[in-house]
Amino acid sequence: MKKLVFVLLAAGALGALGLLPFRAVDAAKLLPVKTVIVTKSGDEFTVDIGAGVQAVGRSLREALDRLREEVTGEVFLPTAEQVILTEPADGALEAVAEEREFRPAAGIYRTPDPFPDPAALGDYLDTHASNVTILEVRAALALGQQPKIPVIRRSEGGFLVDE
């Protein structure tokens, strides 16, 4: 009983000081993200979440931080069902795999399309789920393997996923 009281008092003190590892967020301000498009061009990353909302940074983390600064509301990436890398995806795959803010079960794809539409791709991918997830990419890279990522290509009237 004494231990429980001590833990509750410690948690209350840490909460009052703002030192707990989580924070409260007004749910009405959350902007859930369905599809994230990551482009790496030279030394810059561009993150596009649709509706014309995108940000650029020298790293994926910097681009995500800038995205949060520029958007009114709280960008909520754990709801992203798919992450799409535009080609060439050199270095972007590793950056996405290392980013812990993305949901491990999110599907991951590549596309040669330099300016894909996140909303259109998200709707299409709802019915064509990736057989490769971010968690599987993390595991493959940790083992020194290069994972085979499905490629999304434009086709007549829509898209096509090459597994």
pLDDT of residue 4: 67
**pLDDT average, residue stretch 144-162:** 87
Per-residue pLDDT tens over the stretch 108-131: 999 998 778 888 888 888 887 778
Q: Which two tokens stand for residue 128?
A: 């064509």
pLDDT of residue 16 exceeding 60, the answer is no
When comparing pLDDT for 33 and 59, which is higher? 59
Exposure pattern of 10-23 as b/e (b: 16+ CB <10 Å)?
Answer: eeeeeeeeeeeeee
Q: How confident is the model at residue 22 (pLDDT cuts 50, 70, 90)?
A: low
Q: What is the pLDDT of residue 133?
A: 94
Band of pLDDT at residue 97, cut at 50, 70 and 90: very high
Q: Which carries the bigger pLDDT value, residue 19 or residue 123?
A: 123
